């Protein structure tokens, strides 16, 4: 046993050193054109890598030099220097000319206090540093994907960002010192020390009241923008074409707030704020949810994503375009309800690339889930057509082996992208946009790469045993060299959400498990995104049934195909995936040797009043729309309980380990404890790991590492 665990630790350490791309940008190098028409570009990419000695994620910056021929096609690429650690960087943005860069940096001082600084650099030196706390114009700057932004004006004289609104100072009624200040300084508000301030939920716990702020580069002064209504939380801001006004997405501060993370269907609008006269216009239609406004290169057209409000948290999105001159809006990409197997399944993405337009202002390049892959797509805004521009060619094509593509940046019709597969960690590529039906000609930026040859993957399709005729899929990873006499044990792994998807990308856990001799089945059951909007909606009211049946069918078929040992099947899943594995051990008590559930939903009834997304319970249970004043009846509680894993707990026989993040606001920690106690009371072997101060994702470096080894040991203990 100790030898096996030591090998797992060693492999995890080795694989954790493999970095992944987090962002990238293309810049035209100064004096880049040659007499032969060749052009030079600088590609900057940000990478994340686990450091198990420091137990933290290390962020690094890499640069490549790319040379194009006289047709603009990349012909040479070389790495410039060594990776540079981005210590404390929260946000980074180069100016339009590429001559300046703004950085939001976090520093922890000797007292353990975190401080933020705004830095502005040119290619030779730091031009300014501003201590955010000392400026005392606002609270901490937002770095998250929901609200955060850092945008240069076209003139490069102003910097736009989002920060926590400045709050009045407070004091106790019994404070002995005078609260009055001289020279017009703030007066403390007595008795407000412990007033509860609502935040925006899971992974946004420090975000209470965002505000738009502008740094004037010449005067080095900060000014929060006025004119945004008090009942609106602004974010995702950018400069309007006149370089004076600001466009932003605004979420309505309802009577109480629901979680925003991974919920792009929350009611919000697109606003234009006129800075000088402090007035605003609403650019989008009411009763919708919008996000990710992106201007084309001449700033004549603005595209953004739109969803219906309410319903499942991840849905098929529309792409809309607002004409800045005519003030007209049109739908460019519609919702795809039930596409054919090879047809475009619709847009499913949290964010558009910041720069996504072709130089002719006619095409947009982005990525989206496409069944069990993630593909780069080209959207023609004039013809309103969509086509896939990855995974093309014959089976022998070099690029066919990549199952997941993401666009990082677009400039001068060059597309910077990252691609990967379950057995190929991230690779950075650049390509020239073709004309007509021409495929993009990709070029690797680094020739040296890792490709694992000791395991393989394939995408399997299944027809469910119900009359709805939806075909679902799973990604199967199998170690090579297995024989009929030595079939590997199988880890069944349903995703969370439930409206999410596994794409054929590199993932640390499955890769290490395959090296340890396991087969891994990642299941995209009915309700997953990337298969059409009706596929998503089919799960509503059927959780605990259709999704569970799909998981069991995929497992049974894998065993029937002779790929894995049917007597050595274990389960792991988190969130709704945890909900499913807890259901599976209750509904099929003799089928599984061990189970690991990470922050699982176990009792929808008791979760309702403690989660940041109570609407999820109503929607997934098929109980209609949620509204803030809705109170559950006994019948509602009963329906939710009957659809929960806890309703099957009396049948469970499988040894179960539950992993809990104590700071989880999405699935309250009590969900895991409640299920564990029910198992323990029935004599089922149970283990609970409680990770202090980690949230729903359980993604802290030390937590992620500990969870993997404990999971591996739990499996081999019971196999």
Rounded Cα–Cα distance for residues 268 and 319 (Å): 15
657-671 b/e with 16+ CB inside 10 Å = b?
bbbbbeebbbbbbbb
CB atoms under 10 Å from CB of 122, counted, come to 11
Match 């009929």 to its residue by tokens. Answer: 484
Instruction: Supply the pLDDT for residue 255.
Output: 85
Confidence of residue 178 (pLDDT cuts 50, 70, 90): low
Token output for 482: 């297995």
Q: DSSP assignment, residue 72? A: S
3-state secondary structure of 708: helix
Could you tell me which of 581, 503, 513, 598 has the C-alpha nearest to residue 547? 581
Confidence of residue 185 (pLDDT cuts 50, 70, 90): low
Instruction: Supply the pLDDT for residue 394.
Output: 46
3-state secondary structure of 308: strand
Cα 490 vs. chain centroid, distance in angstroms? Answer: 27
Could you tell me which of 475, 518, 522, 520 has the C-alpha nearest to residue 497? 522
Which residues are annotated as catalytic? 575, 664, 696
Mean pLDDT in residue range 274-300: 96
Which positions ≥6 away from 607 have C-beta within 8 Å?
601, 617, 667, 668, 671
Which secondary structure element, helix H or strand E, spans residue 457, and what is its range? strand 455-462
Q: DSSP assignment, residue 578? A: H
pLDDT digits (tens, 9 = 90+) for 610-634: 999 999 999 999 999 999 999 999 9
Rounded Cα–Cα distance for residues 444 and 416 (Å): 10
- Note whether 564 and 490 are within 8 A (CB): yes
Q: Is the previous residue joined to 283 through a cis bond, with omega within 30 degrees of 0? A: no
Which positions ≥6 away from 167 have C-beta within 8 Å?
139, 209
645 exposure class (CB count in 10 Å sphere: 0-12, 13-18, 19+): buried
77-91, 246-260, 384-398, 548-562: least confidently modelled range:
384-398
Could you tell me which of 594, 592, 585, 593 has the C-alpha nearest to residue 647? 585
- Note whether 158 and 244 are within 8 A (CB): no
Mean pLDDT in residue range 302-314: 97
- Note whether 620 and 498 are within 8 A (CB): yes
Could you tell me which of 213, 237, 324, 228 has the C-alpha nearest to residue 279? 228
pLDDT digits (tens, 9 = 90+) for 27-71: 987 555 665 778 999 999 999 999 999 999 999 999 999 999 998
Which positions ≥6 away from 713 have C-beta within 8 Å?
1, 5, 8
Whether pLDDT at 182 is above 50 = no
Match 């066919």 to its residue by tokens. Answer: 400
Which secondary structure element, helix H or strand E, spans residue 233, and what is its range? strand 232-239
In the chain, what are the domains?
455-718 (3.40.50.1820)
- Kindly report the backbone phi and psi dihedral angles of residue 514, in degrees, each rounded to the nearest multiple of 5, phi listed first: -65, -40
Instruction: Supply the pLDDT for residue 489.
Output: 97
Which secondary structure element, helix H or strand E, spans residue 635, and what is its range? helix 634-642
- Report the relative pairing of strands 210-216 and 189-190 from DSSP bridges: unpaired
Instruction: Supply the pLDDT for residue 486.
Output: 86
3-state secondary structure of 690: strand
- Note whether 684 and 649 are within 8 A (CB): no
Which positions ≥6 away from 524 have C-beta within 8 Å?
371, 372, 472, 473, 474, 475, 495, 501, 502, 530, 531
Mean pLDDT in residue range 194-201: 94
442-481 b/e with 16+ CB inside 10 Å = b?
bbebeeeeeebeebebebbebebeeeeebebbbbbbbbee
Token output for 260: 């925003």
Whether pTM > 0.85 for this model: the answer is yes
Rounded Cα–Cα distance for residues 580 and 584 (Å): 6
Rounded Cα–Cα distance for residues 536 and 523 (Å): 15
613-624 b/e with 16+ CB inside 10 Å = b?
bbbbbbbbbebe
pLDDT digits (tens, 9 = 90+) for 73-128: 999 999 999 999 999 999 999 999 889 999 999 999 888 889 999 999 998 999 99
Cα 392 vs. chain centroid, distance in angstroms? Answer: 26
Q: What is the mean pLDDT of the chain?
A: 94
Instruction: Supply the pLDDT for residue 468.
Output: 81
Count CA atoms closer than 13 A to 643's CA, side-chain side. 28
Rounded Cα–Cα distance for residues 626 and 624 (Å): 7
Torsion angle defined by CA atoms of residues 608, 610, 616 and 621, in that order, rounded to the nearest 10 degrees:
-20
3-state secondary structure of 542: coil
Confidence of residue 393 (pLDDT cuts 50, 70, 90): very low
166 exposure class (CB count in 10 Å sphere: 0-12, 13-18, 19+): middle
Confidence of residue 1 (pLDDT cuts 50, 70, 90): confident
Whether pLDDT at 186 is above 80 = no
335 exposure class (CB count in 10 Å sphere: 0-12, 13-18, 19+): middle
Mean pLDDT in residue range 295-307: 97
Token output for 497: 């959400």
Could you tell me which of 593, 596, 571 has the C-alpha nearest to residue 653? 593
Confidence of residue 437 (pLDDT cuts 50, 70, 90): low
- Report the relative pairing of strands 490-494 and 569-574 from DSSP bridges: parallel
Cα 468 vs. chain centroid, distance in angstroms? Answer: 30
Which secondary structure element, helix H or strand E, spans residue 373, and what is its range? strand 373-380
Which secondary structure element, helix H or strand E, spans residue 552, and what is its range? helix 546-560
Which positions ≥6 away from 468 have C-beta within 8 Å?
526, 538
- Note whether 366 and 407 are within 8 A (CB): yes
């Amino acid at each position: 046993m100790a030898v096996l665990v030591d090998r797992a630790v060693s492999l995890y350490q080795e694989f954790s050193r493999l970095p992944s791309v987090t962002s990238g940008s293309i810049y035209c190098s100064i004096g880049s054109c040659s007499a032969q028409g060749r052009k030079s570009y600088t590609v900057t990419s940000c990478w994340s890598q686990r450091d198990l000695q420091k137990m933290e994620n290390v962020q690094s910056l890499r640069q490549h030099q790319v040379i194009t021929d006289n047709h603009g096609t990349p012909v040479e690429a070389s790495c410039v220097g060594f990776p540079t650690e981005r210590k404390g960087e929260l946000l980074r943005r180069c100016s339009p000319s590429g001559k300046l860069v703004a950085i939001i940096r976090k520093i922890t001082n000797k007292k353990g206090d975190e401080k933020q600084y705004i830095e502005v650099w040119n290619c030779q030196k730091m031009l300014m540093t501003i201590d955010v706390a000392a400026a005392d114009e606002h609270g901490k700057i937002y770095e998250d994907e929901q609200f955060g932004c850092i945008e240069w004006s076209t003139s490069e004289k102003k910097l736009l960002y989002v920060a926590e609104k400045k709050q009045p100072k407070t004091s106790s009624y019994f404070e002995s010192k005078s609260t009055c200040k001289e020279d017009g300084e703030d007066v403390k508000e007595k008795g407000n020390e412990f007033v509860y301030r609502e935040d925006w939920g899971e992974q946004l716990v420090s975000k209470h009241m965002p505000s738009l702020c502008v740094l004037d580069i010449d005067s080095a002064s900060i000014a929060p923008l006025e004119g945004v209504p008090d009942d609106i939380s602004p974010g995702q801001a950018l400069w309007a074409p006149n370089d004076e006004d600001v466009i932003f997405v605004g979420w309505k501060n309802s009577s109480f707030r629901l979680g925003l993370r991974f919920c792009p269907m929350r009611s919000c609008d697109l606003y234009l704020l006129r800075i000088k006269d402090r007035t605003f216009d609403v650019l989008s239609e009411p009763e919708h949810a919008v996000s990710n406004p992106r201007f084309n290169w001449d700033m004549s057209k603005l595209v953004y994503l739109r969803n219906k409000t309410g319903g499942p948290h991840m849905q098929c999105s529309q792409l809309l375009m607002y004409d800045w001159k005519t003030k007209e809006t049109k739908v460019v990409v519609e919702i795809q309800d039930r596409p054919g197997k090879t047809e475009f399944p619709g847009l499913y993405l949290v964010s558009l690339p910041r720069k996504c337009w072709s130089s002719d202002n006619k095409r947009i390049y982005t990525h989206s889930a496409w069944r069990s892959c993630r593909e780069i797509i080209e959207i023609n805004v004039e013809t309103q057509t969509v086509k896939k521009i990855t995974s093309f060619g014959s089976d022998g094509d070099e690029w066919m082996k990549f199952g997941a593509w993401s666009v990082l940046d677009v400039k001068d019709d060059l597309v910077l992208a990252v691609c990967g597969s379950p057995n190929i960690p991230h690779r950075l590529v650049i390509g020239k946009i073709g004309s007509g039906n021409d495929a993009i000609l990709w070029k690797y930026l680094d020739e040296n790469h890792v490709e694992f040859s000791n395991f393989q993957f394939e995408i399997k399709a299944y027809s469910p045993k119900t009359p709805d005729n939806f075909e679902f899929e799973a990604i199967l990873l199998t170690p090579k060299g297995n024989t009929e006499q030595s079939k590997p044990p199988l880890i069944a792994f349903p995703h969370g959400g439930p409206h999410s998807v596994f794409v054929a990308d590199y993932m640390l856990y499955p890769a290490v498990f395959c090296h340890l001799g396991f087969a891994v089945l990642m299941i995209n059951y009915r309700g997953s995104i990337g298969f059409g909007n009706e596929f998503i909606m089919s799960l509503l009211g059927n959780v605990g049934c259709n999704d569970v049946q799909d998981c069991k069918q995929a497992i049974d078929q894998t065993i029937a195909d002779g790929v894995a040992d049917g007597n050595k099947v274990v389960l792991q899943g988190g969130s709704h995936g945890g909900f499913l594995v807890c259901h599976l051990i209750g509904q099929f008590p003799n089928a599984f040797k061990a189970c690991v559930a990470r922050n699982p939903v176990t009792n929808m009834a008791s979760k309702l009043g403690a989660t940041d997304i109570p609407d999820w319970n109503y929607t997934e249970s098929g109980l209609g729309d949620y509204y803030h004043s809705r109170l559950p009846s006994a019948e509602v509680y009963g329906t939710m309980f009957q659809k929960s894993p806890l309703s099957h707990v009396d049948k469970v026989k499988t040894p179960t380990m539950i992993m809990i993040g104590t700071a989880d606001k999405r699935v309250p920690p009590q969900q895991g404890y409640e299920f564990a106690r029910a198992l323990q009371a029935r004599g089922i072997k149970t283990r609970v790991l409680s990770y202090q101060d980690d949230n729903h994702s359980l993604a802290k470096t030390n937590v992620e590492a500990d969870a993997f080894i404990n999971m591996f040991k739990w499996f081999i203990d019971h196999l």
